[in-house]
Chains A and B, each alone.
Chain A
Amino acid sequence: MSAAHPVAELYVDHYPWLHAWLRRKLGCTHLAADLTQDTFVRVLGAREVGQLEEPRAYLMTLAQRVLFSFWRRRDLEHAWLDALALQPENHAPSAEDYALVREAIESLDRMLAGLPVRARQVFLMNRLEAMSHAEIAAAIGVSLATVERDMKRAVTHCWLASLDAAMPSGVP
């Protein structure tokens, strides 16, 4: 990247306050540095950076998204470690599986984002634990028709979300 690149200027001008802002949110300077980098990576993916009228507001919006997805990943990992803590010690995943399992959980979470809780529950029982509709209906106390409706809703939700994600958009 040449010095004349608009993102380079943006980086030099705005890195310090953005890093300071993220550090206050996170309480850790190294983590804040990582997420500041992530924010500028998102800027690189966007178009028409040179014409920004409100660079601070723009960067703040991107940083908030970076922060939000960071918190969400952290929550998921935390909940996952809690669930594992309830299992015998030797059932922790191997170091090789650890990263892949985390990634798989995060990608399922992105697909299911915005889906009502019961439909999410029904979907996970069916796809993750191979429970039949009848077993799910008995386990959560709803009718078979409700389980089927929730399953369709969940798959439709994931499908439409994947179509949206495939569409190009102005802001990454």
Chain B
Amino acid sequence: MSELLIKNACVIDPLRGINAETMDIAIRDGRIVEEVSSAAEVIDAHGALTLPGGIDSHTHICGTKVNFGRYMSPEDMRAGRTSRCGPMHATSGYSVPTTYGNSYRYSAMGYTTLLEGAMAPLEARHTHEEFLYTPLQDTMANALFDGNWGIMEAIRDDDTKRVAAIIAWTLQAVKAFAVKLTNPGGTEAWQWGKNVSCIRDPVPYFEVTPAEIITSIVEANELLGLPHSVHLHCNNLGTPGNYTCTLGTLGLIPDLNPKRQTLYATHVQFHAYGGSGWKDFCSKSEPIARFVNMRPQIVIDMGQVMFGRTTTMTADGPMEFNLYRLHHDKWSNHDVELETGSGIIPVLYRRKNLVNSIMWAIGLELALLTESPWQCMLTTDNPNGAPFVKYPEIIALLMSKKYRDAEFATIHPDTGSRVPLPAIERELDWYEIAVMTRAGQARALGIQDLGKGHLSLGAEADVAIYPIRIDDVDPSVDYEKVIEAFSRTEYTIKRGRIVSRKGDCIVDGNNATFWVRPKVSDDYDMGKDPDFIKKFDRYYTVRMRNYPVQDEYVNRSRCIETEAEI
């Protein structure tokens, strides 16, 4: 039995409605409890800001795509090297660090749960193997279904239950947590050298439209009773004028779930562009935010861009090719059989570049114009917008108009006429930041019932204590102190154990992986469906029996069983 008592913690715990109350937190065997014995180890927080462990609901940290980013960017591997130190392994890399690099740097910032945003089901083993070496965070992965042949055929036959059945079989086979759609239909069209321009273009051969794919999979997701909603990367990422497509997509979504959103639209910054070309490129964050404000069934994440060098990687193959044609540096493209594809290129976001400056502003605007912080999560789509180590700076930008103005003065001078950012006075408070970085993410992912994102009795004891006393600091002026505090926790506690102390990781952790198994009736068990088996063996390069990820690939497996309606 291990016991820990955190005294004098200034707690913000939005899921319980607690806003800056000084209290003690008792922990026994990895869970929050009422009280502990006098033998417990005691940490005195001295009134420091104490939050539930951070959650990143959309990041790219593990898997074939991330690894190829490492592989093709030796300059990135050379950029962030640290040597072995105590229980910490040597790390390297800046925008796509080694798995230990990701884990240590996230832990130093107080993050304890991570969701890998896009895992190709066929290549799930690689993701799970890298999860094994991401020791200090609990992990889960979204499986990609944007170009799944079986699903598109079922949609063409208007059979939503079969769509749900294929999703159910695949999720449990590859031990994934939720459904991800990346440029639905577009990556499949890319395999024919094409793309879809928006939600009404048919996908070649399958003759279904992205709109049909999205609505059908959203419905199937609810039939399966999955904890998380559909996680959508809209069509037409990164093109001027794409905000109309984004609005059209968001407009497709009914409100189907009382507990959480029905759609999680990711990195919306990349989907909120106005203009007819790069010459009149401008921000359309206002219509997007207004639309989201009116629809509680939608949650978005920022996908904030920060200036500097990074690597972009997505399952959106055609988009990466277009980016490659702009940058002319290097490019990787990847096709995943019957499922999806991907592309990777390194980029440099520059302050002196007008388009990059506008992108930077749009992310902030989305966070500031979305009224409820529960509907806009703080992310950079790591590493697409920026590496996650930039989160503290983003927090400071959202909390300080002064900091925003100071930064605004350093970017391209024409930005002011293209974006509404300078006119936005809103400064987020500590509570709203806590929502955007943990509570809201836990609710959006549907993992608060598993004890994530809050500090109620029985919850997982994931706690981050930041070296800042919120009564002593005015974040709108002392933004430097905010950045410093969020960059390095005093203590990061994972499942009741102190894993990180003042930025140094002090234990070799042992994470858990969450995945779902929807319970479907025998009629809808695709493992026994003759037609599904026949197609599988006909088209995949692997046998169906070799496709599922074996248990030994999953660390501390946490299976979530759901009752499906099929």
Partners in one complex: no
